[in-house]
Amino acid sequence: MVFIADYGAGNLRSVLKAFDYIGVKAIVSSDPAKLAGYKKVILPGVGAFGSATESLNASGFTGALLEHVDKGGQLLGICLGMQLLLTDSEEMGAHKGLDLIPGRVLRFRSETDKIPQIGWNSVDQQKESTLFRGIEDHSFFYFVHSYYCDPLCTDDVAATTWFAGKNFCSAIEKNGIFAVQFHPEKSSDAGLQVLKNFAGC
């Protein structure tokens, strides 16, 4: 069973439908007290970093998520949910994240590529990763974002993607903490396999 955190800033229903499609039981809940009963938690998200952290704090999910990871639970951040795992973000000011993955969230800057990145792009695996088991390297996934994660430790980077003149971190894996910048629930068979891999790890 997978717990999908509803903190007021997520593409919750599409993620829930994706788990239903692959035959994995999942629930959406806005009650952080229920999170303790689950080994696997999804932190989805669309929107702005600052307002999302405010929602996490106000809802009580910040403490619940940190405790979940501290006790060895597994966590998958999706899109904005990935960015929230880092130390801080420069989106519309300076905002503190969960600091589960040391690093910063930065804005793409390019004179040639249109920002935000919207559409399909290839994901290049950087190490053996639970998330990408059974998925060919350089497979395409669906992205929608203007900011990217820049982890301090390269060992935390599971995959990278080329956009706006740089190879940015598009997936993270570290001690039960997983994250993807793309939307697996919108990424056809490869994306569904990512969700299967997380649910089965």
> Do residues 190 and 170 lie in contact, with contact meaning Cβ atoms separated by under 8 Å?
no
Determine whether 183 is an active site residue: yes
89 falls in which pLDDT band (50, 70, 90)?
very high
Preceding amide of 116 cis, omega within 30: yes
Catalytic residue among 68, 95, 145, 183: 183
pLDDT tens profile 152-183: 999 999 999 999 999 999 999 999 999 999 99
Tell me the one-letter amino acid at 47: G
Q: How many CB atoms lie within 10 A of CB 128?
A: 9
Q: What pTM was estimated for this model as a whole? A: 0.96
**Predicted local distance difference test score (pLDDT) of residue 98:** 98
Catalytic residue among 68, 145, 173, 185: 185
Q: What topology is assigned to 2-89+102-200 in CATH?
A: Rossmann fold (3.40.50)
**Predicted local distance difference test score (pLDDT) of residue 165:** 94
**Predicted local distance difference test score (pLDDT) of residue 152:** 97
pLDDT tens profile 90-125: 998 889 999 999 999 999 999 888 999 999 999 999
> Do residues 2 and 24 lie in contact, with contact meaning Cβ atoms separated by under 8 Å?
yes
Tell me the one-letter amino acid at 50: G
> Do residues 158 and 101 lie in contact, with contact meaning Cβ atoms separated by under 8 Å?
no
Catalytic residue among 79, 91, 145, 169: 79
Q: How far apart are CA 68 and CA 119, in angstroms?
A: 33
Determine whether 185 is an active site residue: yes
Q: What is the mean pLDDT of the chain?
A: 96
**Predicted local distance difference test score (pLDDT) of residue 167:** 97
Q: How far apart are CA 6 and CA 8, in angstroms?
A: 6
The answer for 179, left when phi > 0, alpha when psi is -120 to 50, beta otherwise, is beta
Secondary structure tally for the chain: helices H, strands E? 5, 14
5-19, 82-96, 121-135, 175-189: least confidently modelled range = 5-19
Residue 35: both structure tokens together: 């999170």
What are the DSSP calls for 40-106, one per residue?
Answer: EEEE---S-HHHHHHHHHHHTHHHHHHHHHHTT-EEEEETHHHHTTEEEE-TTS-EE---SEEEEEE
Task: Give the Å distances, CA to CA, from 177 to 64, 70, 92, 98, 110.
Answer: 15, 11, 26, 12, 30
Residue 8: both structure tokens together: 């007021």
10 falls in which pLDDT band (50, 70, 90)?
confident
**Neighbouring-strand partners of residue 40:** 2, 74
